[in-house]
Amino acid sequence: MKIKRFGVAAIALAAAGALALTGCSTGEAEPSTPAGDPEAIITTNGSEPQNPLIPTNTTETGGGKIVTSLFAGLVSYDAEGAIEFDMAESIESEDSQSWTVTLKEGKTFTDGSPVTANSFVDAWNYGALYSNAQSASYFFDNIEGFSYTEDSELTGLNVVDDLTFTVDLVAPEADWPLRLGYTAYFPLPEVAFEDIEAFGENPVGNGPYMFAGEDAWTHEEKIDLVTNPDYDGVRTPVNGGLTIVFYTSQDTAYADLQAGNLDVLDAVPDSALATFEDEFGDRAVNQAAAIFQGFNMPYYLEHWSGEEGELRRAALSMSINRDEITDVIFQGTRTPASDFTSPVIDGWSDSLAGAEVLEFNPEEAQKLWAEADAIAPYGDTVFDLAYNADGGHQAWVDAVVNSIANTLGIEAVGKPYPTFAAALDDRSNAKLTGGTRAGWQADYPSLYNFLAPLYRTGAGSNYEGYSSEEFETLLDEGAAAPAVDEATAKYQEAQEVLLKDLPAIPLWYSNVTGASAETVDNVVFGWDSVPLYTEITKG
């Protein structure tokens, strides 16, 4: 498959002199959208959010697609990952370190309150504050004043007037604006801070959709959103709203799609991968996306830290036949991984030093496992691999543990959790008894986003406790690099550290596999695998 590459280059970083981003879009003519019933509700699949819907505490896909629908940030992303101005009129800098953000006039939240500079500054300060324990707090660690260990105001944020604020970074970042479409950077109205937990159950946003009344969220079942009549940004909906159904089985969701009871599905179950393209024709989607799949071994478990742990991680990795699994289980909708990112992101490489650890090598795997046993015998310990049963993962997990068992001669089993939220809770509370499925869907199109959130010490999605000074030094050097190619080189070096330590064991890159019923038209899947809901027409 020909893979289209995009990412940080999309914002023309190499220009000398003043760096400025202005206007309301990327400059291209806006595509016409087919007419549809503006009252029609689009139905799609999803999963119960892990937490109340606070943008800075939503870092998983189930909550992410909802929060992105309810709120609008300074910028949004188009289908290919390029940024388009939403709440921002301009984002400017002379040196890539001190930025001035100017907002568009007349923007409001759904309670009628204005979207102002304070809406962003207060939300970002809340998200960054150590005692608030927000899962996306690390997204602000490049702003002056941030602290990972104590409460500290972001001194780099300063309000100039109602529509203007400035941001001082700790070091130059030429691609900083590329981050700003992610949920962590969304604004909050003043009412949010009166009772933040209650707000998360019934949020007041400024995006294309809003809650369909106080009872819109039926936990573990669905969430109902309707069009926000006051939103007039780049994602103005051409439908009447969304109903996101929280399926416990992808097969059930697929059956509903087949029956016309579901409009759009963004994850085809394993059982249908061989047939869905023939069945749905041009309504089927099988395209590259910014999704990485692997599994992690917690450092807090016996046998999985220090020299012994390093040997066992490498042995596990080389005991997995990725080529066979992607062919047999996934019918070519996955590609064996050669790094920790995604082939659709600028800077991806299939030739990093140490990448041979990702190749199937039974003899070397057995040798390394024996060396680890010489340090501390594994004995009769059962290796288990946790996964969420509502995500359609059983087939590949069974194949992976069988490959491990057959290669290493140990007992290996899958450990299903009923829901993604339940699996994530045990990860976040350090209650795992073995490995855990660990996928990553990019928040914004950059190599950095696949690395910092997952492997930096204390990062919100670093549940298994990895920490490496060498890795973080290279990551910081890349973030501060004055040019994209220099940043890419540092991020690749950082990944070579990961290939040695293997805090995650990369498995494969995912295509987005989805389909739509004949009830809807104009279904487009974005660079991050999420459908562009606002563009879908019905009726």
Measured between alpha carbons, how far is residue 198 from residues 51, 88, 468 in Å? 12, 28, 38
What count of Cα atoms within 13 Å lies in the side-chain half-sphere of residue 350?
Answer: 8
Q: Identify the CATH class of 8-259+517-538.
A: alpha beta
- Look up residue 68 and give its DSSP letter: H
Per-residue pLDDT at 23 exceeds 50: no
Strands, DSSP E only, in 136-212? Answer: 157-161, 164-168, 209-211
**pLDDT grade, residue 35 (50/70/90)?**
low
For the segment(s) 290-511, the CATH number from 3.10.105.10, 3.20.20.140, 3.40.50.970, 3.30.450.20 is: 3.10.105.10
Nearest alpha carbon to residue 109 among 100, 101, 120, 98: 120
**pLDDT grade, residue 22 (50/70/90)?**
very low
* Range 198-203 average pLDDT: 97
Residue 442 pLDDT: 86
Per-residue pLDDT at 5 exceeds 70: no
Which letter, b or e, does each residue of 484-514 get, where b requires 16 or more Cβ atoms within 10 Å of its Cβ? Answer: beebbbbbbbbbbbbbbbbbbbbbbbbbbbb
User: To the nearest whole number, what is the mean pLDDT of the chain?
Assistant: 90
Nearest alpha carbon to residue 235 among 117, 104, 101, 73: 73
* Range 29-51 average pLDDT: 78
Residue 172 pLDDT: 83
Per-residue pLDDT at 28 exceeds 70: no
Residue 10 pLDDT: 33
* Range 443-459 average pLDDT: 89
* Range 337-354 average pLDDT: 93
First to last CA, the chain: 33
Residue 198 pLDDT: 96
> If you write DSSP's letter for every residue of 507-524 in order, what string do you get?
EEEEEEEEEE-TTEE---
In the chain, how many H helices and how many E strands?
Answer: 13, 22
* Range 154-174 average pLDDT: 94
Q: What pTM, to 2 d.p., does this model score?
A: 0.75
User: Above pLDDT 90, what percent of the chain?
Assistant: 77
3-state helix, strand, coil split of the chain in percent (to 5) is 35, 20, 45
Per-residue pLDDT at 39 exceeds 60: yes
Per-residue pLDDT at 2 exceeds 80: no
Give the Cβ contact number of residue 421 at 10 Å: 20
* Range 356-383 average pLDDT: 97
Q: pLDDT tens-digit profile of 107-149?
A: 999 999 999 999 999 999 999 999 999 999 989 999 999 999 9
Per-residue pLDDT at 266 exceeds 90: yes
**pLDDT grade, residue 444 (50/70/90)?**
confident
* Range 195-216 average pLDDT: 96
Q: Which range scores top for mean pLDDT: 174-178, 404-408, 528-532?
A: 404-408
Per-residue pLDDT at 489 exceeds 90: yes
Beta carbons within 8 Å of 508's beta carbon, 6+ residues apart? 293, 322, 325, 326, 330, 334, 335, 336, 337
Residue 30 pLDDT: 43
Residue 344 pLDDT: 85
Rounded-to-integer distance, Cα 451 and Cα 457, Å: 11
Residue 59 pLDDT: 87
CA-based torsion, 309, 300, 458, 188: positive or negative = positive
Residue 34 pLDDT: 59
Per-residue pLDDT at 217 exceeds 90: yes
Rounded-to-integer distance, Cα 111 and Cα 290, Å: 35
CB contact at 8 A, 451 and 443:
no
Of 100-109, 257-266, 345-354, 367-376, the least confident: 345-354
Ranges of each domain in the chain: 8-259+517-538, 290-511
CA 160 to chain centre: 32
